Structure formats: structure tokens, C-alpha cells
Amino acid sequence: MRIIELYSGIGGMHFAAKGSSLCDQTNVVLAIDINPVCNDIYRHNFPHTNLINKNICSLTAADINYLLPDMILMSPSCQPFTRLGKQKDTSDTRNTSFLCFMKLLPYLTTVSYILIENVKGFETSETRDHLLDYLNQSNFFYEEYLINPRQFGICNSRLRYYLLGKKLSSQNVTRSSGIIYNLPPNYERVIKNMIQKEIPKNLSTVVEHQTYNNEWKLYLVPEKYLKKYFLIMDIVSCNSKNSCCFTKGYTRYIQGTGSVLSSVLQNDTENIKKEFIHLVSNTNKIENNEETLKLINKLNLRFFTPVEISRLMMFPETFSFPEHITIKQRYKALSNSINVFVVSFLISYLVRD
């Protein structure tokens, strides 16, 4: 299976293909991204893959056909559609390359499979309408999903849009209609054909416990955040069975950017929260109340490390960062990537007999 990986990022799609039912029967013949940091991480993990820094708008159908790809995997820029962005859709310049690629679809002679990942919100966009038009012109049958890793039992929420496209020889293709919110029927059979990997059903399986020693101070939640945002933090413990989606604002912002980890058990965390609410019920000046700060500090709140986040996103243990990549860059690169297990499953489902 010859694969082209567009918007290749840190190699999530590549890892997903290797973890799918295709296993080692894959050859990523080309990976493309314009982000130099992500490209450094990709090369570190896949030193032998043909990775180029190139604007996708400069690709032609002839360039792609020359490589004889069977499958194209991609995760285009999500900023034009994300709930935190301006949702400029087709008028967003970050979407230009994806719109350029769509126009090539009718002229790709060897591509039989396409998988596209994006954020929730893409399914209602004008860009999606254009995409479906080009897929229809190119004789692709497609299905669209909104899938959360939680549906597989993974203890991390990351709801995403996925389109699976398969080129058919018949001109009379029955089109799929509407977004599918459930996993495909008999999905367990598909998983059995994948490379088996333990699913983290609670956070104890991903936590780096040594962080509490050598690197504890590096990841501690700053006191200024504790004073101001404690009540809106999503606080989880090692025995928790869920964590929030991690975004590029993680560690720099608190609300809606990802969970923070407490060193005490979940029940104890909830009890401390209740006690905190009782203490501050008559005042909004948390920062001037030493008693409430002492209470918060019992939780030993810290941010998840990049390694822990990569585990929640189901990257293999072999995945690593080059030493020169800063912690901030690691968080940002991960936030723009995919859940590897979910995409492995969807690739396996897409190519099933």
C-alpha cells in the first residue's frame, strides 16, 4: 500500500498506518508539511521517509500520479473551523492549500483510498461541501464520522471529524448521507486485525510517576492560576477514567485547554473541591485567603507532560522528540496531531474486504 501523507505534522498518520491491519505492508512514499518544528520531529521518528517542506498548492496531479499512491492520508489545518477560531472557512488563507488539493481529485489515477481528519465544525463548513462535490465527481464512495476516543474506552476526549473515501469502478455509486456518530457495526472484528495495543482506560497507565521527583517543579500549576482559575480547572487523578482534549493553549491558558493532574485520588479531590467551595462561599478574594490556598496545595496540581499526552493520544512508546525541541513546542505539536488508535482503526475499516 503506497501512501502519501499530506500535512504530515509529527507523523501521527504514519504511526496509524503502521498500527492498522496493513501493519508493515505500507510504504509512505511522500510526506509533506511546511512546519519546520514538526518536520524535525517527523524526521527524528521516520528518518528514512521522503519528507519535504513544500506548499501543497504547488503539487500537481502529475506529481502525485508519478508516485503511484494507493492511499492519501491528511489532517488539514483546523483553524478555519475550530470553535476558538474566527471560522473564516473558505476565506481563511490557512485553508487555501486544502482547497487547492481538492481540485486535483478528479485527476488522480491510482488513488483508491482517502482519509481526512479535522475538528468538529468542519462537517458544517462550506469547505466540506466543496470536498464532497469533488469526491462525487471523482467517483468516490465516502462515509463521514464524528468519533471520540472515549467510544473505544480510551480515557481522553478528542472528538474529531473523519471522512473515509473509497474509489469505486461503478459510475452508479450510492452516496452516503449524513454524519455517523456511532462506531461501525462489528468494529471489534476490525480491531482484532490491528496491531494489538493496550488501551489506557484510566490515567494510571499513562502517568510518569518519576515526574513527582526530578521534574516536579517544571510542571506544577503556577500559583497565579490556582488563585484565579481553580474552580474552572478540569482536575483529574491517576484513577480517573477521562481527561479533556489538549489544545495548543495548554499550560498557557486554563479554561478549555486540557486537564490538570492531582496527586490524590479522585474521591479525595472531589472532597477538597467541596471544602474549597464552602470556604469561599462568602468571599471572591481567593488570593487573599491563606486557608484556601493551603487547601488547593494539598492536591499538588501539575500539568500533564508531553510524554503523558502522547500516550493518551495513543502514540507508540517508540515515539520521541529531538532534544532541541522545547516543551512549549512539544505541547503545540501534540495538540495539532491525531489520536493514533482511532485513525488506525479507521484505516483498517476503510481497506477491509
What's the pLDDT at 175? 60
In the chain, where are the structural domains located? Answer: 2-194+339-350, 209-304
pLDDT per 10-residue tile (average), the chain, 353 residues: 97 97 94 97 98 95 98 88 64 83 96 96 90 94 96 96 91 71 92 90 88 73 88 92 94 93 86 81 61 86 96 97 96 96 97 85
Strand-pair category, 179-180 with 235-236: unpaired
Looking at domain 2-194+339-350, which CATH architecture does it have?
3-Layer(aba) Sandwich (3.40)
Between CA 122 and CA 278 the distance in angstroms is 42
What's the pLDDT at 275? 83
Give, in order, the Cα–Cα distances in Å from 261 to each of 217, 300, 343: 14, 8, 27
Looking at domain 209-304, which CATH architecture does it have?
Alpha-Beta Complex (3.90)
Among candidate residues 155, 159, 150, the one with its CA nearest the CA of residue 123: 159
Give, in order, the Cα–Cα distances in Å from 306 to each of 28, 72, 244, 264, 318: 26, 28, 15, 21, 14
Between CA 193 and CA 334 the distance in angstroms is 27
**Within this chain, domains 2-194+339-350 and 209-304 share the same CATH topology:** no
Q: Is the dihedral of CA 332, 24, 101, 55 positive or negative?
A: positive
Q: Which residues are catalytic?
A: 78
Between CA 145 and CA 184 the distance in angstroms is 10
Contact 94, 77 (CB under 8 A): yes
Q: Which residues pair with 253 in a beta bridge?
A: 250
**Within 10 A of 186 (CB to CB), how many other CB atoms are there?**
10
What's the pLDDT at 334? 97
What's the pLDDT at 187? 93
Between CA 240 and CA 235 the distance in angstroms is 9
**How many helices (H) and strands (E) in the chain?**
13, 11
Contact 59, 102 (CB under 8 A): no
**Within 10 A of 290 (CB to CB), how many other CB atoms are there?**
8
Furthest-apart CA atoms within the chain: distance in Å: 72
What's the pLDDT at 345? 97
Contact 104, 60 (CB under 8 A): yes
Cell numbers given for 69: 499512491
What's the pLDDT at 42? 98
What's the pLDDT at 263? 87
Between CA 203 and CA 191 the distance in angstroms is 22
What's the pLDDT at 332? 96
Between CA 276 and CA 296 the distance in angstroms is 8
Cell numbers given for 337: 496531531
Contact 28, 6 (CB under 8 A): no
